[in-house]
Structure 1
Amino acid sequence: MAIRAIILDIGGVLEHNPSLGFDVKWEPEFGAGWPDRVGAVIEAGVIGAITLEQVHQQAAAALGVSVDRFEAYMDDAWIEYVGSYNAEVAEYWSARRAEGYVTAIISNSFVGAREREEAAHRFSELTDILVYSHEVGLQKPDPAIYELCLERLGMRPEETVFVDDHEPNCEAARALGMAVVHFRDTEQALRELDEILRENR
């Protein structure tokens, strides 16, 4: 069956997101092991169970700091989250879209991500469908988030190829019958994408 849609992850694929060490930077103020104390709050933000304002309030309470201090941390964290634009991947993807392939995104995201990533990278101009975990209440590798994307595309798994930098997310897509590229670097991923598209026309 011919491939009709190319589905990409954002972080680590459409964005370069190297660690900038913000957790360590804030450890003197928040305390050793502080990320563990806000883990449940962050998880709730990933699936949109709470608002960004509630994230700030609940995380600050868990850490025993003022809300404005956690907001200051988040200002730092958003820099790493948004990262830098992987122009080579985006240009390749846009060229395939111009050839007639449908484009989609499935991203494990965080409340507030759409606005920040749109301002930085304007993903809405690159993709036909954007599935953010915080907006749909599901996250990879839950098969339901892939199935939701497929439903919105109106396609069977075999008509799509999925690109992600985390193997568990790739494995979930394979299990559904999607073609998969495990992104390790840009050159490798685009080469494998070319091969899959060439073999499934």
Structure 2
Amino acid sequence: MNIVFDFGGVVFRWHPPSFLARLWPHRVADAAQGALVAAQFFENYGGDWGAFDQGLIDADTVIQRIALRTGWPAAEVAQVVAAVPDELQLQVDTAALIAELKQAGHRLFYLSNMPEPYADHLERAHPLQQWFESGVFSGRVKHSKPRAEIFQIASERFGLAPETCVFLDDHPANIEAAKTLGWQALLFTTAGQARLDLVQLMR
């Protein structure tokens, strides 16, 4: 199988409500309140953050835009932006799944909404080229999920027809977009569930 992994929330830890609760205890009392603050900060990965994801603006610009839009001090917004790389910790269970799939002979790729500075960090911190044959970061191709363009770019880069790819992502909108374009796609919740879903798909 040709299996394509999302990164944030799948291969690497990414849960903005708890992230902000830890980082901004003076603003966020718990993960429930963190969800509300995260919706303001990241705008569901549209708006300012979406432009950052797509490599259309840099970190300084996204900081200034979020501060202007929300009224939060730019220094506090900058704290969040700077803390993201440390938040993207490898998910041990998913790493084990990747190793299993690779050992079994499956071809592995990635397709991630990721601003360029964070993509650079992940490449420095982890042996992505050993784990995956190829991959696409949104910040480098100027398109992001769930738009059709990034799926088309990925298909072309991987040299694979969409229907031969199985996409794992934790966002329903990205799963639906992939399916609409002819990809096989599975909503990721845990590595254990993904393993079961993949086994079922292989039957």
**TM-score normalized by structure 2?**
0.77
Cα separation, partners in 2 of 1:61 and 1:16, compared to 1, 3 Å: closer
How far apart in 1 are the matches of 2:114 and 2:38?
Answer: 21
Percentage of identical aligned residues: 25
How far apart in 1 are the matches of 2:20 and 2:94?
Answer: 26
> For residue 173 of structure 1, what is the amino acid of its counterpart?
A
| 2:78 aligned with 1:71 | yes
User: Over alpha carbons, which structure has the higher Rg?
Assistant: 1
| 2:12 aligned with 1:15 | yes
Aligned Cα RMSD in Å?
2.9
How far residue 169 of structure 1 moved from its aligned partner, in angstroms, is: 0.9
Cα separation, partners in 2 of 1:34 and 1:155, compared to 1, 3 Å: closer
Structure-2 residue corresponding to 1:44 = 51
> For residue 183 of structure 2, what is the amino acid of its counterpart?
M
Cα separation, partners in 2 of 1:126 and 1:33, compared to 1, 3 Å: closer
How far apart in 2 are the matches of 1:37 and 1:91?
Answer: 32
How far apart in 2 are the matches of 1:164 and 1:64?
Answer: 32
Structure-2 residue corresponding to 1:115 = 120
1:80-104 per-residue CA deviation (whole Å, 9 max, x = no partner) reads 3x1x212222232233234432211
> For residue 81 of structure 2, what is the amino acid of its counterpart?
M
Say how many residue pairs are matched: 190
> Could you tell me whether the CA contact under 8 Å between 2:97 and 2:191 is conserved in 1?
no
SS at match of 1:16: coil
**TM-score normalized by structure 1?**
0.78
Cα separation, partners in 2 of 1:71 and 1:194, compared to 1, 3 Å: same
> Could you tell me whether the CA contact under 8 Å between 2:20 and 2:38 is conserved in 1?
no
How far residue 16 of structure 1 moved from its aligned partner, in angstroms, is: 2.7
How far apart in 2 are the matches of 1:37 and 1:17?
Answer: 14
| Greater RCO (Cα-Cα under 8 Å, separation 6 or more) | 1
Q: List alignment gaps of at least 5 residues for structure 2.
A: 29-35
1:87-126 per-residue CA deviation (whole Å, 9 max, x = no partner) reads 2222322332344322111111123111222344333331
> Could you tell me whether the CA contact under 8 Å between 1:90 and 1:126 is conserved in 2?
no
How far apart in 2 are the matches of 1:175 and 1:181?
Answer: 13
> For residue 11 of structure 2, what is the amino acid of its counterpart?
L
Q: List alignment gaps of at least 5 residues for structure 1.
A: none
SS at match of 2:200: helix
Structure-1 residue corresponding to 2:31 = none
> Could you tell me whether the CA contact under 8 Å between 2:4 and 2:108 is conserved in 1?
yes
> For residue 186 of structure 2, what is the amino acid of its counterpart?
V
